[in-house]
Amino acid sequence: MTRDLTGRTSVVIGGTSGMGRAVVDALLAAGSTVVTTSRDPEGSSAAADLKAAGVRLVRADVTTPDGLDELVEAVPTVDHLVLSAAGLTYRPFRDFPASDAAGTVDGKLLGYWNAVHRLAPALSEHASVVLFSGVASVRPGPGTAAVTAANAGVEGLGRSLAVELAPVRVNVLNPGVFETASWAHMEEKEREEFYAETASSLPVGRIGQPEDAADAVLFLLTNPQVTGTVLDLDGGARLV
């Protein structure tokens, strides 16, 4: 299967960090022109590295109606679109009114809706789209109600868009625990213990690395027969 994306334009919304950043690197290695985004392109610590790699960094915030104006203007044609952005809140359900949960739904499900909707006119006929969900969609824990609902919604959205935007292919990557800045809010010791405990609980005996996700995204973006799929990349978390 060829992964030569020379001449293609790829957009990664959420490419300044974590799995999105690894996707940017994989797309560059495949020869694609890459545009990625930040809510604060001037202040982003990734800006210099991205620029040095030849990546265009554009301001975008998926949660606001005009937050995608600069990106829409910057990319008249999109061959590959990846949405890895997320703004999520974990909180016990009994202390979590719907009005507070709306931020998580906006940060992910409606944010992705907004981004695909705004960029749909730019998608080329052979375009492909990958949306990120998360293992809480099928393996919820205490405090994950909003995250579970948003991620399950993303998976449904992906199936729906695979039908409605055809022949554009739309797929969802469902990661388990990956070593990224998502866990930076934890103290280092607590985080290392969490990683170690999670790894030992998984059939594969390890947590995910951003490059694992990038490899899976490239598969979903380039395989011409895959659409409407949710690819579980969770080390078996949903089984144990």
CA distance 46 to 194: 26
* Closest-approach residue to ligand NAP (CB): 18
What is the CB neighbour count within 10 angstroms for residue 228?
Answer: 15
**Under 8 Å between Cβ of 146 and 91:** yes
Q: Which stretch binds ligand NAP (CB under 6 A): 69-77, 82-90, 94-102, 118-126?
A: 82-90
The Cα–Cα gap between 5 and 155 comes to 26
Nearer to ligand NAP, 79 or 212 (CB): 212
Span of 56-64, 74-82, 188-196, 222-230 interacting with ligand NAP by CB under 6 A: 56-64
Structure tokens at 220: 């979903």
The 3-class secondary structure across 168-228, one letter per residue, is CEEEEEEECCECCHHHCCCCHHHHHHHHHHHHHHCCCCCCECHHHHHHHHHHHHHCCCCCC
Smallest separation, CB 125 to ligand NAP (Å) = 26
**Radius of gyration (Cα) for the chain, nearest Å?**
17
- Please identify, using beta-carbon distances, which residue of 153 and 175 lies nearer to ligand NAP: 175
Query: Closer to ligand NAP at the Cβ: 20 or 158?
Result: 20
Report if residue 220 touches ligand NAP, rule: CB under 6 A: no
CB of residue 176 to ligand NAP, shortest distance in Å? 6
In the region spanning residues 106 to 145, those forming contacts with ligand NAP, defined by CB under 6 A, are 107, 111, 132, 134-135
Among candidate residues 77, 72, 86, the one with its CA nearest the CA of residue 32: 77
Residues of the shown chain interacting with ligand NAP in the complex, contacts defined by CB under 6 A? 13-20, 37-39, 44, 60-63, 84-88, 107, 111, 132, 134-135, 175, 177-178, 180-182
